[in-house]
Amino acid sequence: MVIYWQGISTSFCGQCFYLDFLSLSPYPSLFRSLCLSLPIPLCFGLSLSPYPSLFRSLSLSLSLSVSVSLSPYPSLSLCLSLPIPLCFGLSLSLSLSLSLFLSLSLSLSPYPSHSLSFSVSLSVPLSLSLSLSLSFCLCLSLPIPLSLSLSVSLCLSLPIPLSRSLFLSLSLCLSFSLSLSLSLSLSLSVSVSLSLPLCLCLSLSLSLSLSLSLSLSPLSLSLSLSLCLSLSPSVSVSVSVSLSLPLFLSVSVSLSLSPSLSLPLSLSHTHHPLEQHTEPVFSLPPPSSTEQQTVVLLARSPSASKTYFPIPVDCLEDETRIRSADDGKLFREEFNSLPSGYTQGTCQEANKEDNREKNRYPNILPYDHSRVVLTQLEGNLCSDYINASYIHGYTDNNKFIAAQGPKQDTVADFWRMIWEQKTATIVMLTNLKERKEDKCYQYWPDQGCWTYGNVRVAVEDCTVLVDYTIRRFCIQYQASDGTKPSRLVTQLHFTSWPDFGVPFSPIGMLKFLKKVKTVNSSFAGPIVVHCSAGVGRTGTFIVIDGVIDMMHQEQKIDVFGFVSKIRDQRSQLVQTDIQYSFIYQALLEYYLYGDTELDVSSLEGHLHKLHNTHTPFDRVGLEEEFKKLTNMRIMKENMRMGNLPANMKKNRVLQIIPYDFNRVIMSMRRGQEFTDYINASFIDGYRQKDYFIATQGPLSHTVEDYWRMAWEWKCHSVVMLTELQEREQDKCFQYWPTEDSVTYGDYTVEMKGSTVCDSFSVRDLVLTYGPDKQTRLVRHFHFHGWPEIGIPAEGKGMIDIIASVQRQQQQSGNHPIIVHCSAGAGRTGTFIALSNILERVKAEGLLDVFQTVKSLRMQRPHMVQTVEQYDFCYRVVQDFVDIFSDYANFK
């Protein structure tokens, strides 16, 4: 409803009470009016499609207001508005309003009228603080003639944090309007507001605005001052004073009480996550030393926060796809709606002078109510402090301790916490150095033992795998009253988190998480999780663990709710929107593929299940398992180099192109463009990254590139899995001499000898490079047991060649192994998959054929090309177990 009084219009929504009780104008009004507005809201939401691209949602809002006034101008107004959210943050609003004066007697006002207006406004966010608004309004009023007006406004707002709890907002608005009656006006306004939160639910706001208007009428200047007290997110009381010059002097004071209540209403039959608006929270971390390095906290949008409801697991794939669209725009919106800042408690202990130097980052501090309290050392009152917080799991309270990476002067406190909390498992999610910056001090000895404070730490063993390293320590507390019994502590160090962003695939993290669950005893104390600051990667790991447990228990996921809950215990957990979206990727990976890991003892039963599907409704058969792999998307957008015209002729099969992110890059030849390309991909091994080079069989014009790759990457082992010709088709050019030597450009290959085994032959080659005649021994393993059609009849030959290659690698220094067939995908992928699977079987007594092959396909397209090759992987492992039936020696 809009009330006009002395040329000033005021809009009301909700339940408002307005009292005009003071006027200093030389033109006093004829009526002192008391107006009560009783709006009747009717709101509902309408979704155009479950997955709209342009219009995410369409809502219609209808409100009817009846005004009863002591003045003789009772009125009725009806307003219909239609807000339309567009893509890329754009929004379009359509509104139609009708105002009727219900005058039953002679009107005392010279301007009573009926009016009908239609307006369209478009809001374009240019940045976080700059927005452009364009509006068009058509108004028809009787008896006053038709009026048409067009206005454009440009507004700039700048938030300025003054301290942890004080916030200043500066805004500048410039507007221009033109009417059909040829009246022109230009206005400029500046406003400054100061917001001071008094407590969690009470805040004080003070604003001052200055407006200057220039029109065909005389110059007008107005000044207003308002004071607002917010009692809760839905109730506020405000007092304002305004002054207008020089047309007339008018001072008015108003008191308003504006409660509001909103209820979500869904008309959809599907369980789509709803959004519920809450008030935004802005706060800064507690003050601390400015000399220390700080963690960069992302700027937040000034828009209101939202709450996101749980997602049923059967909707997870669709919801993840929707949120990932438009470069993850919805993920960013959801992440920015999380509670942020230090709003859930105090950090007084962390800010004490004696404790500040113990914090790695001065803006990442533990709350007092959830911090880990150490036993005080005699004579040191602040010795109970460490930058670590208790964090709840899905069902278990204080399941984790989220800690910062130890500093050199806090290592003793760290081990004292491990001892006092009876921790048996440490999860480390950072490397000691990243981008030449210290992220964590090495708090364990490389070998032998070392004493940190009162805790003696001895290394028992260390196992290095491709994604993580496992270290086992024996720790013992040396107290004044004697030495305590020793304990075993396992540290699992995830080493595959890149310096920037998140891991390329969640597969490694899920394997790591399962290992943590397996290692940790149910009787042990909290699991200590740390990265560098103890919030970003640490929070990501904790959330994935908790929401997977929720998925099993409730058949739904609530990432937003879980992150919000644990942020009550430690601020800023899950630090970036990229980490937030990675959580969804990990949950989707787990939901779609589950836990496919097997113990060797259960392999025979699993194979029987895969090969004995009796009905078409049995979804666990081998074909169905392999079909999940073939449904993986091939990332053609990451094949740019291989698809360049200059490089197309270097590819044997156009469908098998290496991905740009892991292709083998050679040195560029002077003056020759694109000479760094070869159709070859680095593939991870079981223990080592980039352990294999998967490549195609050389073409006649790529042989020199092939040997250049072998030389530059110091390869000593080559595995060939095809014959030169099969079914009268060329599969590979002969790139070695039958006898003596042959030269390809700068490289000479000499035959030194050969050995023939049951299913493969071994050639010893000497590779010589350049004018300096540098030489290198290369051992060539040529597998002959693969028939032209199908797969090998038995797995022993493959087991033997894999064992021979591993022995060669141990002697030559574990440089990359070149593996090729014809196209470098089917047989090549099968060999690499079996090498990794058998290595894990020997080390752990476990296997996961599905995830092993899936990981290979994420590194090179079409690896393990047919269901027969996939089945062959299972059968070779079974043959391996049968050969070594007493497999306890490699568990």
pLDDT 10s digits, 479-532:
877 778 999 999 999 999 987 789 989 999 999 999 999 999 989 999 999 999
Out of 315, 347, 531, 732, which one is annotated catalytic? 531
pLDDT at 240: 57
Active site residue 462: no
Residue 609 makes CB contacts below 8 A (sequence gap 6+) with 620
pLDDT at 19: 37
Measured between alpha carbons, how far is 222 from 243 in angstroms, rounded to an integer? 5
Angle subtended by helix axes 559-566 and 577-593, to nearest 10: 130
pLDDT at 14: 40
β pairing state of 741-744 and 598-599:
unpaired
pLDDT at 187: 61
pTM score: 0.67
DSSP result, 507-519: HHHHHHHHHHHHH
pLDDT at 123: 55
pLDDT at 883: 86
Active site residue 821: yes
- Contact (CB, 8 A) for 763 and 746: no
What is the distance of C-alpha 203 from the center of its chain? 33
Helix (H, G, I), strand (E, B) or coil at 691: coil
pLDDT at 352: 94
Residue type for position 676? D
Residue 68 makes CB contacts below 8 A (sequence gap 6+) with 35, 36, 74
pLDDT at 31: 37
Low-confidence ranges of the chain (pLDDT < 50): 1-73, 87-89, 101-113, 127-130, 143-146, 163-167, 181-182, 197-203, 216-217, 230-236, 247-291, 301-304, 615, 617-619, 887-891
pLDDT at 479: 83
Helix (H, G, I), strand (E, B) or coil at 130: strand
Out of 16, 315, 821, 873, which one is annotated catalytic? 821
Would you call 120 exposed, middle or buried from its count of C-beta atoms within 10 A (0-12, 13-18, 19+)? middle
pLDDT 10s digits, 755-765:
999 999 999 99
Distance (Å) of CA 454 to CA 357, 419, 481, 536? 21, 10, 12, 30
Measured between alpha carbons, how far is 173 from 188 in angstroms, rounded to an integer? 6
Radius of gyration (C-alpha) of the chain in whole angstroms = 36
Q: Which domains does the chain have, with CATH numbers?
A: 2-257 (2.40.160), 305-593 (3.90.190.10), 607-885 (3.90.190.10)
Residue 379 makes CB contacts below 8 A (sequence gap 6+) with none
Measured between alpha carbons, how far is 509 from 529 in angstroms, rounded to an integer? 14
Q: Scan for tokens 């007697």, then name that residue.
A: 105
Residue type for position 869? Q
